[in-house]
Copies of this chain bind each other. A is one copy, B any other.
Amino acid sequence: MIKYPTSNKVYQQKPISTKNRGMAFEALIDQSNTYYLENSIAVIHKKPTPIQIVKVDYPARQLAKITEAYYKTPSTTDYNGIYKGHYIDFDVKETRSKTAFPLKNIHPHQIKHLKNVHQQQGFAFILIAFKTRNTFHLLPYHKLEFYLNRATKGRKSITYEEIKADSYTIQEGYRPPIDYLKAIDRWLEDI
């Protein structure tokens, strides 16, 4: 293993936060949700991955061991819950691209579900992390919809500039690491 000298840091053009470096975006959201729950700010949970169970053994009393199972396609997004009486529903995405967010990252069942939630007057959105920029954005479904329509006849991604203009930018922090409910507060002011 090569040990780079710490002075390498000076070659970085911009100081970027190292607080949560290397941690997957989803893990930061999970930590934020735990913080919200413990502080009675919101009740937002990640849904378990749906599994089709085929075979279960009982090697001991009270112990069920699943020995054959398969992943199923979910019918919703991964996260939902309630904040100040509002229904919240979203998925978490990250990209290594510096310039654009590719729409193929969002699956058809997720789009359909977000649209349903939006029509029921819920807060439907995606949280996007530009990993190499270390920027975080909450993009409401009604903004995303424009780019999904555009993609049917043209560009299959949303540029970083477009996301900056159409999303609520979220500052990275310590506790919670990604305070995306602040972005919801700004969204509420816009309604």
- Residues of chain A whose beta carbon lies under 8 Å from any beta carbon of chain B: 37, 40, 42-43, 45, 47-51, 53, 64-72, 74-76, 80-87, 89, 113, 116-117, 119-122
Contact = CB atoms under 8 A, between A and B. Distances in A.
B66 A51 contact: yes
Given A49-B51, A51-B49, A80-B80, A66 B68 contact: yes
A93 B68 CA distance: 28
Given A37-B116, A87-B87, A65 B70 contact: yes
Specify how many copies of this chain sit in the oligomer: 2
A81 B47 CA distance: 12
Contact of A87 (B65, B69, B82): B82
A64 B71 contact: yes
A176 to B, nearest CB: 17
Contact of A82 (B42, B48, B83, B120): B120
A80 B77 CA distance: 13
Nearest to A69: B66
A60 to B, nearest CB: 12
A174 to B, nearest CB: 24
B47 A120 contact: no
Given A48-B51, A65-B68, A40 B87 contact: no
A80 B42 CA distance: 15
Contacts of A67: 67-68
Contacts of A80: 80-81
A153 B125 CA distance: 46
B121 A84 contact: yes
